[in-house]
Amino acid sequence: NAGVTQTPKFRVLKTGQSMTLLCAQDMNHEYMYWYRQDPGMGLRLIHYSVGEGTTAKGEVPDGYNVSRLKKQNFLLGLESAAPSQTSVYFCASSYRIQGLRNSPLHFGNGTRLTVT
Amino acid sequence: DQQVKQNSPSLSVQEGRISILNCDYTNSMFDYFLWYKKYPAEGPTFLISISSIKDKNEDGRFTVFLNKSAKHLSLHIVPSQPGDSAVYFCAASGGNAGNMLTFGGGTRLMVKP
């Protein structure tokens, strides 16, 4: 039972380069999310999606774009990476919108991104 | 300004003793609170939650207490085990934040054998 799978696990980018982080879930969840985790800052929501073909901004969306072309996949793009985007990125999914009772987030194992 | 704060970055406890992890919040409209546990190189996993209509919720060795007047919640682990060593995040939702979760910065718990 794979749950939420993120690729790649690690990546080093130079400033200005672009990349796409991939997230796939096999739980048929409608809702998917991208978070970043920084020391002492907890998890901050970048973008999220409430269903196939939809996306919305979270708390820290600047510098990122997302797409949800298929229900099971949620892609996070960095068009021009900056050192401030060095972080650990987590994808998550949920059956109903997060924050509702009995709808916990299911997280992937993260992507550690370093921008030099 | 962080609306959910975990003021202790780390906590060390002896195996078998009680672990108490604390979390404070500033938004009085929050009405649902959760704790997530995270091991190294893994994603967070849901641990326990509590609604604002309750002041306590228990699940095995884990109990969450909510003090709404103090805007404070705590997670008690009794007895603590070495396998509980992890980073614990509290999170809250409700009010003008809607259903989106606001996370605290995390507390690293180390349970020594």
CB B21 within 8 A of CB B80: no
Q: Tally the C-alpha atoms within 13 A of residue B68's C-alpha that lie toward its C-beta.
A: 13
- Residue-level pLDDT at A44: 95
Preceding omega of B79 cis (within 30 degrees of 0): yes
Nearest to B9 among A40, A45, A107 (CB): A40
Average pLDDT, chain A: 94
Q: What is the mean pLDDT of residues A66-81?
A: 97
pLDDT digits (tens, 9 = 90+) for B23-46: 999 999 999 999 999 999 999 999
Contact A8, A114 (CB under 8 A): no
- For residue A1, the model assigns a pLDDT of 65
What confidence tier does A102 reach under pLDDT thresholds 50, 70, 90?
confident
Band of pLDDT at residue A41, cut at 50, 70 and 90? confident
User: Which has the closest alpha carbon to A73: A21, A19, A36?
Assistant: A21
For residue B2, the model assigns a pLDDT of 80
Mapped onto helix, strand or coil, the DSSP state of residue B96 is helix
What is the DSSP secondary structure assignment for residue B77, as one 8-state letter? E
Q: Does B45 contact A at CB distance below 8 Å?
A: yes
pLDDT at B15 over 70: yes
Q: Measured between CA atoms, how close is A71 to chain B, in angstroms?
A: 20
Among the partner residues A45, A90, A101, nearest to B51 by beta-carbon distance: A101
Average pLDDT, chain B: 94
Q: What pLDDT score was predicted for residue B96? A: 66
Residue among B42, B51, B103 whose CB faces A43 most closely? B103
E strand spans, chain B:
4-5, 10-14, 19-25, 32-38, 45-51, 56-59, 62-67, 72-77, 86-93, 102-103, 107-112
Question: What is the average per-residue pLDDT within A36-49?
Answer: 93
Residue B98 has pLDDT above 90, yes or no: no
**Model confidence over B66-75: pLDDT tens digits?**
999 999 999 9
Q: What is the pLDDT of residues A74-98, one digit of tens each?
A: 999 999 999 999 999 999 999 887 7
